[in-house]
Amino acid sequence: MARADRSAEKAAKAAAKAEAKANKKPGRFAQVWQVYKAARGVDPAITWWMLGGALALVAVVTLIGLALGHWLYALIVSLPMSFLVAIIIMGRRAERAAYRRLEGQPGATGAALSALRRGWYYEQEPVAAEATRPGDLSNAALVFRAIGRPGVVLVTEGPLSRATRLAESERKRVNRVAPNVPVHILRSGDGEDEIPVRRLSKKISRMRPELTKPEVEAVNKRLKALGGVKMPVPKGMDPTRARPDRKAMRGR
């Protein structure tokens, strides 16, 4: 009986270790490798860009060291610097690749908003939507919301007339609970007077601040309390499941 108990205890410990190992987050190098593989699938030239940037830096630093009479020291110093340059290039190319995957996908705006920096509150799912057929997002009008120091930013996506009407309706909802808060309406897309997905977060981040941080928190709480509307959109909508994570792209 005691032997059986010890066997069961060992089996439980082994199972716990296996579960802990499965749930363990990958290290930094593993994260960099994952980002690299994902980016290479969209941008096959990323390897050559990384190698070219690293070798160019090694060559420049070594030549400077040669001119100063310390080329070997310069070569040794240039090696870790070249690795850093390769990581930076990978991050930039990976960011472009991530946005390239998002372009043209329904709900790409919500994924792009996840690249906003600290101080912004955003909704990963649309706050308003209208689809011609339930569950069909191919021709749906969507409105996404972000809240920051510039105020409330509504970003539309989909057919212009329906998306504009939804955005105006959402503006009225915001004005009811936060009457003095600026509401900005932007349109995501590649057409005239539209903002490409890859530039959306930069455009929003550069808007002029008009609220204090406590006011932003208060507005966010009010809109959260307002609740949402039932939309013909699957919960947790993310068409590619690939958000442009800045920290991961930079290998940090």
DSSP-derived secondary structure for the chain? -HHHHHHHHHHHHHHHHHHHHHHPPP-HHHHHHHHHHHHHHH-TTHHHHHHHHHHHHHHHHHHHHHHHT-HHHHHHHHHHHHHHHHHHHHHHHHHHHHHHHHTTSTTHHHHHHTT--TT-EE-SS-SEEE-SSTT--TT-EEEEEEEETTEEEEEEESSHHHHHHHHHHHHHHHHHH-TTS-EEEEEBSSSTT-B-HHHHHHHHHTSPP-S-HHHHHHHHHHHHHH-----SS-TT--SSS----HHHHTT-
Asked whether residue 227 carries a pLDDT value surpassing 60, the answer given is yes
Asked whether residue 95 carries a pLDDT value surpassing 70, the answer given is yes
Per-residue confidence (pLDDT) for residue 168, from 0 to 100: 92
The span from the CA of 109 to the CA of 238, in Å, is: 10
Question: Mean of the pLDDT values across residues 218-226?
Answer: 86
Q: Which two tokens stand for residue 117?
A: 């920096």
Question: Mean of the pLDDT values across residues 112-117?
Answer: 83
**Beta partners for residue 147, in sequence order:** 121, 152
pLDDT band with cut points at 50, 70 and 90 for residue 16: low
24 Cβ contact list (under 8 Å, min separation 6): none
Question: pLDDT of 127-180, one tens digit each?
Answer: 888 877 666 666 788 899 999 999 999 999 888 888 899 999 999 999 988 888
**42 vs 176 pLDDT, higher one:** 176
Asked whether residue 107 carries a pLDDT value surpassing 80, the answer given is no
pLDDT band with cut points at 50, 70 and 90 for residue 81: very high
| Cβ proximity of 238 and 124 under 8 Å | yes
Asked whether residue 194 carries a pLDDT value surpassing 70, the answer given is yes
Per-residue confidence (pLDDT) for residue 235, from 0 to 100: 46
Asked whether residue 110 carries a pLDDT value surpassing 50, the answer given is yes
Per-residue confidence (pLDDT) for residue 106, from 0 to 100: 74
Share of the chain above pLDDT 70, in %: 76
Strands 151-157 and 183-187, sheet pairing: parallel
